[in-house]
Amino acid sequence: MTYYEKKPEKKFFEKTLDDYRDSVWGCARCNWCQNQWGWNVKSAEFSEICPAFHEYRIFPYSGMGKMHMARALLEGDFSYEDAPEMVQFLYTCTTCGACEMNCQRIQDKEPLQVNETLRAKFVSDGIGPMPEHKRLIKSVKNYDNPWMQPRAQRDRWARKIGIKDISKEKADTLYFVGCTSSFDNTLWKVAQNTAKIMMHGGADLGILGKNENCCGSPLARIGDRETFVQIAKKNIELLNTCGAKEIVTFCPGCYRALMHDYKEIPGVPPLEAKVYHSAEYIDSMIQEGKIKIPGELKKRVTWHDPCHLGRHCGIYEPPRNILKAIPGIELVEMERIKDQSWCCGGGGGARTAFMEFAQKTAHKRISEAQKTGAQAIVTSCPFCEQNIGDALNKSDDGMEIYDLTDMLIRVLDL
Amino acid sequence: MTDKKKKVIQKKLPREVYNALKNVVGEQWIYEQRSVVETYSKLSIEGGSFIKKHDKDPHVLPACVVLPSSTKETQAIVKICNRYQVPFIPFTNGQVFCNPTNEQPTLIIHFSRMNSIIRIDTQNMCATLEPYVDYGQLQAEAMKRGLWNGGTPLATTICKLASQFAFAGLWQTDLKYGLFSRNIVSVKMVLPDGEILTTGSRSISRAGDFWEYGPGPDLLGLQRSGLGTNGIVTEITVKLHAWVGDETFPDIPAGRPSLFDVHDAKYDNPPAPLKNHKLFWIEFENFETQIKAMREIAHSGIAIGLNAPGVYSAFYCSQTQAMTVERCEKKFFPDWNCYVILAGTTSEKQISYEEKVLRQIIDEVGGTFLSETHKPEVLEALKPWNYDCIRHSTGYRMNRKFYANAWLPVGPLDSAFICQREWQKALDMFGECDITDRGGADDTPFVYALQRGHFCLFETDNYPDPVLPDDIRKAQGYGLYGAFTIPKNDMGPMLMAFTNVEPFTSMTPEAGPNCKILMRKLRKVFDPNSVAAPGRQVFTEDEWQQFPTEIKEALNKMRSLNDMPPVEY
C-alpha cells in the first residue's frame, strides 16, 4: 500500500508495525525529531528537544533512529537476536512526543507512534519491556496500581478532606486521582489541594475511593497493550456507570488515557462523561468568578509544561492563566515551552528503568529554569514533580518545585 | 526477487582497529551494534541507497560508528584509518551523500558531540563553529548580537554549516549574500592522511579571522565543495552580517498545537514578515514574463532574496500529504510566481524605496502582486514563508513521497527555459513518478536567483514511492538522464557543489574535465591510502577501474540517448 491509497482507518491500539511501513520507509532523515522547531530556537544551548539523543548523541535514541530500526526489523534485515541492544533504545524514550510534533509538521509521519508500536511488538514477542517495567505490570495486575501498594490504601490521602465516595453517594463530578498521588504520600498534598480548590469553587465532587483503578497509561506507554485494553474496558464500564457527568483528573498520564487513548481501543464504548484536566477546570472556575483570590503570593516562578498535558493534549494556557491570576506571582517563561517544551525525563517508563538518565534530563530542565531567574518551577504532573523534585533534592540549585495547586491554595486560605 | 527473510549482516572492523579507536574516544563513544549501524545506513534523497535497501545489499551498512569530541580525536581516528586502510565517512545529520557503499568495512565518524559555537566575534563579524552547529543555533545567537549569518538554507535550519561547506550552501537570500560557500572565512580540517590544515588568515599566528584567500594559494577555494573527499571540517569560521530584525522571533498568533491538532493550518501561520523585512508575492501570466521580471529585479540591486518556488509552495505550505496532493491537482498556487524579500538594512526608507522600484518593474514587465484583493486565500496559505524566508524551518517539508534524483543545474536565468523543456522531455520518456510534481514542465521549476542574478539554480524533482523499488528506479532514470542532458545543453553543472559526484564526475567529462583531473590528482596527494569518503566526488584510478563495467555501459547508453559520444573506460 502506498501513501496515497486510502488506508482503512484503524485505531492506534490495533495497529501493527506493518501499518507504519510507508512511514518508516519514508523517513527523510531531516532530523527535526531532535531539534526545536526553527521558529522557536532562542539559543544554541537549548536548541535540541529529544532528551535521549541529547544525552547519548547517537541516532538510535532519536525518533528518526526508531523509524530506521523499525524499517529494518519489519523487512527482516535483522532480528531481535542480532540486536538485543534495541530494547534499551526503545525504552530510554520518555514518550515526550517532541519528535512526533515536529515530524508531523514537516513530514506528516509518526515516530512516537512507531516507537510505541515497536514496544508493543517487543512485549507481545516476549522481548520487552525492561525488567523494571515487568514489576510495574505485575503490580498493576495484582494491585490495580503500578506501585505495589495495597488497594485499601488508595483513599488514605482523602481521609481528612470530607470528599464524597461516589460509590456510596452521588456526585456530578468525579475526581479521578490517579495512582501516583494516591499512594505517594509526598504527593497527597497535591491530591488534597486539588480536591479542596475544586470544592471551594462549588464542584459537587466525588471519588471512586478504593474502587479507583490504574488508568492503564503506564502500560499503554510501555507497550503492554493486552493489559492496557483490559484495564481500559473495566474503567470505561466503571466510569460510565458511576453517575458522574464530568471527570476531572490532575495527572496528565490519566488525562491522556481518558481523553485520547481510550478512544483508540477498537470495539469499546466511549466515555460518557466529559473529561477535564484540573488546570482547565480550575481556570474556568476562576474565569467564571466561582473562585475568588483574596491573597497575594510574591514569587517569581516558571511553568514547566508536562509533556502529556501540553504537547500531547494541548493544555498550555489554563495553568498559565491560573498563575497569572494570583496576585504577586511573576511568571517568567523558559526558552523551550508549550509544544517545544523540554521533557523532565520522567515519562514513558524512562524513570522506572533509567533513573540516571531521567535525573540528568531533569537537571537540564532545572538549568534552563534557572536562566529565567525564577525562584521556583511550577508544574502539574506527579511524574514531573517527582523527577524534577528528586533532582533538586540532590543539588544545591536553590530552586524549588511546586504543584500548581500549591501556589493557589496559599492565596485561597483553605 | 529479493528474499524477504534474508538478513543483512554488517561487516566488522578487525579487533585491533576497533580497540585502537576505542582507545581514542573511550568505550562509550564507539558503537558497532547492528541496530546502531542501521541508523547510519539509509538516506533521504538518494534513490540508489533505497534500491540497495530493497536488494538487501550489506554494503550500505557501516561497520562501526565513532564519535570524537575534538579535532585532536578526529585526527587520531583518521590516522588509525590510514594505518589500517579503513575507509571512513564523516557524518552529521546524514541527509545527503553519506551512505557507505563499500565492500570494505567502513567507519562512520559522527560529529554530534562537537556541537559548540566556539566564539562569535562581533567586532570582526564572524563566528567559529564546531561541525555539528546548525543554522538555527547560529542565527539565534547572532540575532541577540544584532548579527546574522546572512542566509537560511534551501533545506532547513538544522543543516550543519560545516556540512554545507561540502556543497555550496544554497540560501533563501543568495541574491544579496551569495552562496554559503562565499561566506566562509576559514576552516580547520583534518586531511585524509591525518594532517591538519588551517586556511586563510587564521593560519597566521594571532592574525585572526578576517581573510579567506591564502596565504599563498587559496586553499579554502580548493577545499570548498569537496563533498568530504578532501578531509573533515572540524572548525569553520563564517562571516556574519548586520541583522535588523528583533532578537527573537515573535510567537504564532494562534498559539501552539498539540499532537492531536498539529495539522491545523492556523498553527502554521506566523505573523507578518519580520521587523524591517517585507515579503512580496507576484503572479505572472507566463514563464517568459516571470523570468524577465526576475532578471530586472535581480539586476536592479534591490532585495535580499528573489526566488520562484512554483509548485513547491504546495509542499512547503501544506499541513498534510493529502492537502499537498489536493493543492497540486487543483493548481491552488499560481503556476508562475516568485517572492521577493526586502530588508531595511541601511535606513528606514530603504524598504519603501525598494518597494517603489519593485512595483515599477512589475508595472513595466507585467505581473500582479498577491494581496487582500488578488488571491488573498493564496497569500494566507503562503504565510509559513513569513518566517521561512528568513529562518527556514518548514523548508524541506516532506509532505510528499520521498524525494530523489533531482535535477539541480545552475545557469543564467534563460536556462530556466531549457530546464523546463528538458524536464518535459524526461516526463514524456519515463512517465511521471507522482502526480504532485510537474517539476516545471508546465509551471515554474524552483528558481533561485543567485548573487544579483549573475546565475540561478533550477530545481526539478522526483517523488517516487520509497516502498516501491521500480518507482525509485524510474526516478533514477530521471536523474541519469538529467546528468547528461544538462551538460549537453551547455547548462551549468548539476548540484550545488559545482562539480559532480561519482560516477558522473567521470562519466560526464563535459561538466568539467579540468576539475576531474585536478581532483583526482589532489586526492592522490591528500589521500594516499584512499580512505576518505570513498567514491564520493572523484574516484581514484583504482576505484574507477573497479567501478562495475555494466554501470559504465548503462551510463554510456544514456549518453547516446543524448547524442553524446561514449566515455572510454
Q: Chain B: give the shortest CA distance to residue A74, in Å.
A: 10
| Residue B307 located in a structural domain | yes
What CATH number did the domain enclosing B97 receive? Answer: 3.30.43.10
| Residue B480 located in a structural domain | no
Which B residues 20-39 touch A at CB under 8 Å? 29, 31, 33-36, 38-39
Q: Chain A: give the shortest CA distance to residue B466, in Å.
A: 6
Of A43, A85, A104, the CB nearest to B33: A85
Residue A5 clears pLDDT 60, i.e. is over it: no
> B49 — contact with chain A (CB < 8 Å)?
no
CATH class for the domain made up of A12-124 = mainly alpha
Same domain, B208 and B128: yes
The per-residue pLDDT for B442 is 80
Residue B38 clears pLDDT 90, i.e. is over it: yes
Amino acid identity of residue B395, one-letter, is G
> In Å, what is the CA distance from A22 to each residue of A68, A74, B257, B464?
12, 11, 25, 12
| List of residues 6+ apart from A292 with CB closer than 8 A | none
Mutation to test the A interface, candidates B27, B38, B321, most A Cβ within 10 Å: B38
Of A41, A85, A313, the CB nearest to B35: A85
**Model pLDDT for residues A193-247, shown as the tens digit of each residue:** 999 999 999 999 999 999 999 999 999 999 999 999 999 999 999 999 999 999 9
> B518 — contact with chain A (CB < 8 Å)?
no
Q: Chain A: give the shortest CA distance to residue B516, in Å.
A: 30
> B542 — contact with chain A (CB < 8 Å)?
no
Q: Enter the DSSP assignment of A35.
A: B
Q: Where in chain A is CATH 3.40.50.10700?
A: 291-412
DSSP-derived 3-state class of residue B189: strand
Rounded to an integer, the average pLDDT of B65-81 is 98
Q: Of residues A66 and B451, which shows the higher confidence score?
A: A66
Task: Kindly identify which residue of chain A lies nearest to residue B30, measuring between CA atoms.
Answer: A58
* pTM of the shown model: 0.95
Instruction: Please tell me the number of Cα atoms within 13 Å of B121 on its side-chain side.
Output: 14
Q: How many helices (H) and strands (E) does chain A have?
A: 18, 9
Mutation to test the A interface, candidates B27, B258, B437, most A Cβ within 10 Å: B258
> In Å, what is the CA distance from B369 to each residue of B175, B282, B310, B339, B358?
20, 4, 15, 10, 10
Number of folded domains that form chain B: 4
Query: Residue B399 and residue A44: Cβ atoms within 8 Å?
Result: no
> In Å, what is the CA distance from A378 to each residue of A254, A299, B258?
19, 11, 20
Q: What percent of chain B has pLDDT over 70?
A: 93
Query: Residue A108 and residue B396: Cβ atoms within 8 Å?
Result: no
**Model pLDDT for residues A256-311, shown as the tens digit of each residue:** 999 999 999 999 999 999 999 999 999 999 999 999 999 999 999 999 999 999 99
> B500 — contact with chain A (CB < 8 Å)?
no
> B93 — contact with chain A (CB < 8 Å)?
yes
Same domain, B272 and B355: yes
Measure the N-to-C terminal CA separation of chain B; round to a whole number of Å.
31
Contact between A88 and A122 (Cβ < 8 Å): no
Contact between A167 and A154 (Cβ < 8 Å): no
| Residue B67 located in a structural domain | yes
**Model pLDDT for residues B296-335, shown as the tens digit of each residue:** 999 999 999 999 988 888 888 998 888 888 888 888 999 9
DSSP-derived 3-state class of residue B293: helix
Contact between A35 and A102 (Cβ < 8 Å): yes
Which B residues 223-242 touch A at CB under 8 Å? none
Report the distance separating Cα B485 and Cα B487, nearest Å: 6
Among candidate residues B75, B92, B110, the one where a domain is terminated: B110
The per-residue pLDDT for B543 is 82
User: Which among A89-98, B209-218, B259-268 has the top mean pLDDT?
Assistant: A89-98
DSSP-derived 3-state class of residue A351: helix
Query: Residue A60 and residue B321: Cβ atoms within 8 Å?
Result: no
> B558 — contact with chain A (CB < 8 Å)?
no
Same domain, B317 and B272: yes
Q: Chain B: give the shortest CA distance to residue A143, in Å.
A: 32
Rounded to an integer, the average pLDDT of A345-374 is 97
Of A43, A108, A317, the CB nearest to B141: A43
Same domain, B122 and B86: no
Same domain, B228 and B340: no
Q: What rounded mean pLDDT belongs to chain A?
A: 95
Band (A252; pLDDT cuts 50, 70, 90): very high
The per-residue pLDDT for B166 is 80
Report the distance separating Cα B510 and Cα B484, nearest Å: 9
- For residue A5, the chain B residues in CB contact (below 8 A) are none
User: Which among B341-345, B456-460, B520-524 has the top mean pLDDT?
Assistant: B341-345
Task: Identify the sign of the CA torsion B110, B115, B117, B118.
Answer: negative
Band (A156; pLDDT cuts 50, 70, 90): very high
**Model pLDDT for residues B48-60, shown as the tens digit of each residue:** 888 889 999 998 8
- For residue A336, the chain B residues in CB contact (below 8 A) are none
Task: Kindly identify which residue of chain B lies nearest to residue A73, measuring between CA atoms.
Answer: B35
Q: Chain A: give the shortest CA distance to residue B95, in Å.
A: 5
Reported for A230-235, long-range contacts at CB under 8 A and 24+ positions apart, including other chains, are A231/A140, A232/A257, A232/A261, A232/A262, A232/A265, A232/A268, A233/A265, A233/A268, A235/A262
DSSP string, B216-230: SS-HHHHHTT-TTTT
| Residue B534 located in a structural domain | yes
Same domain, B309 and B383: yes
Contact between B180 and B169 (Cβ < 8 Å): yes
Same domain, B137 and B41: no
Residue A7 clears pLDDT 70, i.e. is over it: no
Residue range of the domain that includes B167: 117-242
- For residue A101, the chain B residues in CB contact (below 8 A) are 257, 259, 262
Q: Of residues B523 and A170, which shows the higher confidence score?
A: A170
| Residue B474 located in a structural domain | no
Query: Residue B38 and residue A77: Cβ atoms within 8 Å?
Result: yes
Residue with cell 567514491: B535
Task: Kindly identify which residue of chain A lies nearest to residue B326, measuring between CA atoms.
Answer: A4
Report the distance separating Cα A362 and Cα A344, nearest Å: 5
CA-CA-CA-CA torsion for B118, B122, B123, B129, nearest 10 degrees? 30
Q: Which residues pair with A246 in a beta bridge?
A: A173, A274
Of A4, A25, A47, the CB nearest to B466: A25
The per-residue pLDDT for A1 is 42
Q: Chain B: give the shortest CA distance to residue A401, in Å.
A: 25
Q: Where in chain A is CATH 1.10.1060?
A: 12-124
Query: Which fold does the domain A144-283 belong to in CATH?
Result: Rossmann fold (3.40.50)
**Lowest-pLDDT range, A322-336, B38-52, B431-445, B458-472?**
B431-445
The per-residue pLDDT for B95 is 77
Same domain, B30 and B93: yes
Band (A4; pLDDT cuts 50, 70, 90): very low
Same domain, B282 and B236: no
Residue A6 clears pLDDT 80, i.e. is over it: no
C-alpha gyration radius of chain B: 24
Cell numbers found for residue A200? 471551594
| Residue B333 located in a structural domain | yes
DSSP string, B485-543: HHHHTTPPPSSTTSS--TTHHHH-GGG-HHHHHHHHHHHHHH-TT--BSTTSSS--HHH
| Residue B519 located in a structural domain | yes
Task: Kindly identify which residue of chain A lies nearest to residue B390, measuring between CA atoms.
Answer: A39
Task: Kindly identify which residue of chain B lies nearest to residue A106, measuring between CA atoms.
Answer: B397
Residue B1 clears pLDDT 60, i.e. is over it: no
Report the distance separating Cα A100 and Cα A104, nearest Å: 6
CATH class for the domain made up of A291-412 = alpha beta
- For residue B4, the chain A residues in CB contact (below 8 A) are 75-76
Mutation to test the B interface, candidates A18, A59, A69, most B Cβ within 10 Å: A59
Of B38, B144, B252, the CB nearest to A69: B38
The per-residue pLDDT for A2 is 45
The per-residue pLDDT for B438 is 64
Task: Kindly identify which residue of chain B lies nearest to residue A4, measuring between CA atoms.
Answer: B322
> In Å, what is the CA distance from B565 to each residue of A224, A400, B407, B422?
63, 76, 22, 19
Task: Find the helix or strand (DSSP H, E) in which B368 lies.
Answer: strand B368-369
**Lowest-pLDDT range, A86-100, A208-222, B165-179, B360-374?**
B165-179
**Lowest-pLDDT range, A98-107, B94-103, B115-124, B366-375?**
B94-103
Contact between A252 and A277 (Cβ < 8 Å): yes
Same domain, B284 and B225: no
Same domain, B100 and B25: yes
Contact between A399 and A376 (Cβ < 8 Å): yes
| Residue B253 located in a structural domain | no
> B319 — contact with chain A (CB < 8 Å)?
yes
Same domain, B98 and B147: no
Q: Which residues pair with A403 in a beta bridge?
A: A379
Q: What percent of chain A has pLDDT over 70?
A: 98
Task: Kindly identify which residue of chain A lies nearest to residue B49, measuring between CA atoms.
Answer: A25
Q: Which of B25, B7, B112 is nearest to B75 (CA)?
A: B25
Band (A372; pLDDT cuts 50, 70, 90): very high
